Amino acid sequence: MLTVCHLYPDLLNLYGDRGNVTVFLRRCQWRGIPVRLWEVRFGESVDFTKVDFLFLGGGSDREQQLVVTDLLPRLANLRQAIEEGLVVLAVCGGYQLLGHYYQTAQGEKLPGLGILDLYTEAGEGRLIGDIAVEVQMGGRSQILCGFENHSGRTYLGRVSPLGRVLRGFGNNGWDGTEGARYKNVFGTYLHGPLLPKNPAFADYLISLALGRRGLEIMLPPLPDVLERQAREVILRRLRLRGS
């Protein structure tokens, strides 16, 4: 039985981010993989070592600070789970709060969890639009597509980017990086939600979660007809496919 934890679904859930959780669950269920959903809200207890897939969505600055306050007393438990291979997908605000801090437009530094070696500063304008990113998954190059809408500019330290921006803005609009990856932790600005538009990435996360349990299973393919069509529309719009 895989356990999916949607952390703070009432506080961090912008632009359909909940769809990432739904897709992870459904793609397991369609293949007969036992899976359960555990929604954890502010103040509720959670043991991250019992979780297989942890999802953090996007939220406002205020909501991010509430979340950090709630998570700090459990940071050691979360770090332990991550070092043991917990699969984490964190989008936008959820991604930013995994870093050291977020500096507001007024210069105030709002502390993060410091799990990823990165920081974010508020920018003057929002970075909005469709985005395509080249990433490496299991030794293969793949293109992720999604939608970004953020004013934060994220700068990486000693942590790998999730991928290389092909179209769009990414972490900060100038260095060509998007997101961050540490072990099985994936941070990204791709909303959309991300996983419905990128079923191969969803399956990659499922495989990582199963592998952490010692289950090296070759996932049976799913039709993904609508998913492929949606991706093609976006990639043509971004001029990464012929019309």
Question: Helix %, strand %, coil % for the chain, to 5?
Answer: 30, 35, 35
| Residue 28 annotated among the catalytic residues of the structure | no
Tokens found for residue 185: 């932790």
Catalytic-labelled residue, pool 6, 92, 145, 150: 92
Pairing state between β 35-40 and 2-7: parallel
126 a known binding residue?
Answer: yes
Catalytic-labelled residue, pool 5, 28, 150, 191: 191
| Residue 92 annotated among the catalytic residues of the structure | yes
Determine which helix (DSSP H) or strand (DSSP E) holds 129, and give its type and residue range: strand 118-137
CB atoms inside a 10 Å sphere around CB 41: 13
Cis ω on the peptide bond leading into residue 193 (within 30° of 0)?
Answer: yes
What does each C-alpha distance from 119 to 55, 148, 177 come to in angstroms? 20, 18, 14
Known catalytic residues?
Answer: 92, 191
Bind-site residues for substrate: 126
| Binding residue numbers | 126
